Copies of this chain bind each other. A is one copy, B any other.
Amino acid sequence: MTRKIIAFLFAVALTGAACFSQTTQTAVLEDFKPSTLNQPGQEYPQVNSQGYARFRIKAPQADSVKVSLGLGGRGGTKLTKGADGFWTGTTEGPMDEGFHYYHLTIDGGTFNDPGALNFYGSVRWESGIEIPAHDQDFYALKDVPHGNVQQILFPSKSTNTSRRAFVYTPPGYEKDKSKKYPVLYLQHGWGEDETAWSNQGHANLIMDNLIAEGKSKPFLIVMTYGMTNEVKWGRIKEFKIEPFQTVLVDELIPYVDANFRTLADRSNRAMAGLSMGGMETRTITVNKPDVFGYYSLLSGGVYSPDELKDKSKAKLIFLSCGSKEKPDGVRNAVSALKEAGYNAVSYVSENTAHEFLTWRRSLHELAPLLFR
């Protein structure tokens, strides 16, 4: 508490000083704390209450250490070497709230920050940092009943192997052995994999909290790999849907329906995906109107009324994105769908871009609307 007051006074002093400087830079509050995504016991990277991030990397003989932050991360941050052999630096400005991928460039090579946990994105395990969001409560780990996230290995003839998926089973699933549940198939984005929605997205905690509040029906969520490695970023239009569609529709869904207590029909099956996973969702739901009853694209494009062949099949179309993306595209598409008689809903996440806070919030808005 005292430390906070001192930090505040120090900040006031800094702000005062800034008035006399030629630029009108905001003072950086010295209330930095370790990021919640640090490896156990690691003090750095740190984040302050304004959303600035500070990095500290040991590399005494290095010539240059740079931090590359993704979208919303203000580009790069060059670190400066201190006498102790540690390179430190603070972002030039506050970052967007939520999760950001990043990596280090050390003497021309790409490495991860040894202080941070790793998250699969950009077709590699990247470092991750979390800027606490003002609404972070909805994905926080709370003292509520928790569902499980089950790793399954399902047989896939088309790819000649056992493939991995994760299945979220809601609280109570283990106990009430007669109850059957609807299922949401939820896809990651380009360069990510089946771990993304749990690790970066906290999908399980979002559902645990919604269910505890009585705001969502309990349902299963199935997350598997969208085979995105087969396509390079920038050549995403060349992506062929068939191999993944076969795995999902002909192999995974029958396996889940045979091995979990599911309601195995269209009106109890939803598909959603973020970014490239939205592209996959759109194509597969249109190709297979008898398989899914609820469609959702999160920062992943829109549906036009023309492409939906049979109006009676789509019970809900949910489109979302961040306000820093193209929210008008989403809003206009939903207007057009509504005019054409569809049950369509749009959601725009305020002050976020093409990043995971947009998708955490989107799932939080989507879940209560499913299977009603």
Contact = CB atoms under 8 A, between A and B. Distances in A.
Interface of A: 39-41, 57-64, 85, 104, 106-112, 114, 117-118, 123-125, 141-143, 146, 148-155, 161-162, 167, 169, 174-175, 177, 198, 204, 208, 229, 259-260
A108 B118 CA distance: 22
A169 B151 CA distance: 10
A151 B152 contact: no
Copy count, this protein chain: 2
A151 B150 contact: yes
A111 to B, nearest CB: 4
A143 B157 CA distance: 10
A57 B174 CA distance: 47
Contact of A106 (B64, B109, B123, B169): B109
- 8 closest A-B pairs by beta carbon, nearest first, are A59-B109, A61-B107, A146-B153, A60-B108, A62-B107, A149-B151, A150-B150, A111-B111
B109 A112 contact: no
Contact of A114 (B59, B62, B124, B177): B124
Given A112-B111, A114-B112, A123-B40, A175 B259 contact: yes
Contacts of A152: 146, 148
A108 B62 contact: yes
B107 A107 contact: yes
B108 A114 contact: no
A204 B146 CA distance: 23
A260 B59 contact: no
Contact of A229 (B40, B61, B107, B146): B40
A63 B63 CA distance: 9
A41 B111 contact: no
Contacts of A167: 148
Contacts of A60: 107-109
A148 to B, nearest CB: 4
